Amino acid sequence: MLGGWFVIEPWVVIAAISLAFSIPVLLSSYYAVILFVSSLRYPKLLGNLSPPSENFPLVSVLIASYNEKFVIGRTLDAIKGLDYPVGKIHVIVADDSTDDTRSVIDNKIEELNLAGIMAHVSRRNNREGFKSGALNHAAPLLRGEYVLLLDADSTVTPASLSRGLAAFRLDPRIAFVSFRVGHYNREQNLITRLFALSQDQGDTITKMGSYVLDAPYSFQGGFTLMLLAVLREVGFWTNDSIVDDADLSCKVYSAGWRGIYLSDVKVFGEDPSNLEVWKKQAARVSQGWTKCARSNWRKILGSNKLTPWKRIALLLFLLGPFSALSWIVVTFVSAIGLILGFSAPTNSIFTSPVYVTIVTLPLVAFFLSGAYALQVQKIMTAKNLLLLPLLSYTTLCMATAITFGFLQGIRGRPGFFFRTPKSGVESNERSRQYFHDIRHDRIAIAEAVLAILAIAIGLIVLTEGVWVLSLSLAGFGVLTLKSMSLSRILGSRFR
C-alpha cells in the first residue's frame, strides 16, 4: 500500500491478463475433450439404413461454381453415377464464372439432360454476395423435398444420396444430413496429408461427438443434404456471409432443428496443396465465423428453441478463432514480462505445474483424437501417426492469419470470399499457373513481424529457463516463416 493506494505488482497484472485470455479458450478446449469422449459412443452403423425402394422423392442438386474449370466437369459427371432414378434428380449450377468454366458447364449440362437428368444453369452479371449471393440467385429454381448442396469439387459416391435420404427417418427434427469429407488428393504432398488429417480429426471429434450429444455444429456446404422446406423457413443464405455453411447452420439450429452426421458415407473434395492457400482459407473462415457470432449472438441467446447449454455450445464453435488471439496475447505478454523484469520466471504461468497440467490435458486429447480419427478411417499407420505432432505445430503457423480474421470479424468488417484454388485430380503446371494470382497480402506483413519477434524473444526466454514458453515462441516463428514460402518469394524477386 502506498499513500493510501494499493500497489499491484506487475506480475499480478500479467497473470491476470493471461488468465482472462486463457479461460475462454480452456472452456472451448475442454468442450472439445467432451466431444472427443462422446464420439467414442457414436453408433457405427448409423449410415446403414435401407434406402428408399419406391416413392423416390425429387431431389435438387445445387452446385456453386466460380472459375472451377479443372474440377466442375468431374463433379457433374459423378452425379450421373448416383444409384437414384435419373428422373428424380434436378441439377442447378449457380455459376459466377468469367472464364472457360462456362463452356465446360454448358457442355456437361447438355450431357446431363441427354442422360435424363433435369439440369439448368443460374448466372448473373456480378459477384454480389459472392457464393451466398450466387446460391440465393439460384434458389428460385430449386424443386422437390430435398437439396443436395455441393461445391464445384464435391465428388459424390453412388450411394451418397440414397443413404443420406434414409437417415432422415431417424428423427423428425432432422433438417440436414452431413457426410464425411473424403480427400481425392490426400497423397499429393505433405500439406494435403496434413489438411486431410485435420479434416478427419474435426469430422470425428466435432461431428460424431455433436451427434451423440445432440449438440450444434457447422455442416460443410459442399457435403450436405437438406430439407428444402427448412431452407425456405430460415430464409436461405445470408447474402453478405463469407461462410455460407456456418451461417446457415446457425440459423437452422436457432430455429429448433438438428442435423445428423454420417461418418461412413463420403463425398470427396480437393484439399489445399500449400500452406499459403490453407492459411487464407483459415483466415476467411475465422472472419466469417466471428462475424456470424457478432451478428447472431442475441438471436442465439434469445432462442427459446435452444436449451441454455446448446446456446453456449453454438457460440463456442463460432468463437473458436478467438483461441489464436488468446495464444498470441498470453504467450507474448508472458515473454515480454519476463524480459522486462516485470515478473520472475517462477511467477510465469508457464512454470506453474497447475497451469501446465490444465493446458496439457487438451493437448493429450488432441493426439488421442487424431489417432482415433485415423482408426475410424482405417488408415492408422506409423506414417500417419507421425503427422500428428507436425499438425499441432502447423496449426501454430496459422495463428496470425486466424487472429487477423477474428479481429476483422469482431469489428463486423465486410469480408472477401477467398476461393480456394482447385486444380483437379491430375494437377499439372498448367493448372498451377492458372492460380498464379494467389499472392501474399497485408496479413503477411504481420506474420513476418510476429514470427521474427517470436524467434528473438524465444531465444531470450530460453536463457531464463522457461523452456515451454521458449519452445512455443520459436516453433511459432520458424513455422510461420516457413509457411510463407520465403525462399520462393525471394527467388522470384531477385531472378
Q: Residues 198, 98: one domain?
A: yes
DSSP label at residue 244 = H
Per-residue confidence (pLDDT) for residue 349, from 0 to 100: 61
- Contact criterion met (CB below 8 Å) for 305 and 255: yes
pLDDT at 158: 93
Please count the structural domains in the chain.
2
Residues 170, 118 within the same domain: yes
- Do 288 and 256 have their domain in common? yes
What's the confidence (pLDDT) of residue 472? Answer: 83
**Could you tell me which residues are beta bridge partners of residue 266?**
180
Coil/strand/helix, residue 172: coil
pLDDT tens, N- to C-terminus, the chain (495 residues)? 445 555 566 666 776 777 778 787 788 888 889 999 999 999 977 767 777 677 889 999 999 999 999 999 999 999 999 999 999 999 999 999 988 999 999 999 999 999 999 999 999 988 888 888 999 999 999 999 999 999 999 999 999 999 999 999 888 999 999 999 999 999 988 889 999 999 999 898 889 999 999 999 888 888 999 999 999 999 999 888 888 888 999 999 999 999 999 998 999 999 988 888 888 888 888 998 999 888 888 888 888 888 898 998 888 888 888 888 888 888 888 888 888 777 666 666 666 677 777 777 888 888 999 999 999 989 999 999 999 988 887 888 888 889 989 998 988 877 665 667 677 665 554 545 544 444 456 677 888 888 899 999 888 888 877 777 888 888 888 888 877 765 444 444 433
Does 422 reside within a domain?
Answer: no
254 and 310, same structural domain? Answer: yes
| Residue 266 resides in a domain | yes
219 and 287 share one domain: yes
Residue 20 lies inside a defined structural domain of this protein: yes
Look at residue 48 and tell me if it is in a domain: no
**Which CATH number covers residue 95?**
3.90.550.10
Give the domain-ending residue among 318, 345, 379.
318
304 and 328, same structural domain?
Answer: no
Tell me how far apart the alpha carbons of residues 358 and 362 are, in angstroms, rounded to a whole number: 8
Strands in 368-449 per DSSP E: none
Of 318, 337, 366, which residue sits at a domain end?
318
Beta carbons within 8 Å of 391's beta carbon, 6+ residues apart:
194, 197, 198, 201, 370
Answer whether 479's CB lies under 8 Å from 393's CB.
Answer: yes
Q: Report the pLDDT value the prediction gives residue 49, as an integer from 0 to 100.
A: 74
pLDDT given at position 446:
83
Identify the domain boundary among 259, 292, 318. Answer: 318
The predicted model scores a pTM of: 0.87
My answer on whether 349 and 305 are in the same domain is no
- Among 364, 359, 327, which residue's Cα sits nearest to residue 476? 327
Residue span of the structural domain in which 151 resides? 59-318
Q: Do 28 and 127 share a domain, yes or no?
A: no
Domain-located, residue 210: yes
CA pair distance 131, 420, nearest whole angstrom:
12
Whether residue 468 lies inside any domain: the answer is yes
Task: Examine the domain organization and report whether 126 and 268 are in the same domain.
Answer: yes
Determine how many CB atoms are found less than 10 A away from the CB of residue 283. 27
| Structural domain includes residue 44 | no
Instruction: For residues 66 and 93, give the distance between their C-alpha atoms in angstroms, rounded to a whole number.
Output: 10
Do 174 and 231 fall within a single domain? yes
DSSP state of 304: T
pLDDT of residue 437: 46
Q: Please indicate, yes or no, whether residues 149 and 173 belong to a single structural domain of this protein.
A: yes
Rounded CA separation 428/483 (Å): 22
Q: Are residues 142 and 287 in the same domain?
A: yes
SS (H, E, C) 324-344: HHHHHHHHHHHHHHHHCCCCC
State how beta strands 59-65 and 146-151 pair: parallel
The answer to whether position 337 is within a domain reads yes
Q: What is the pLDDT of residue 395?
A: 82
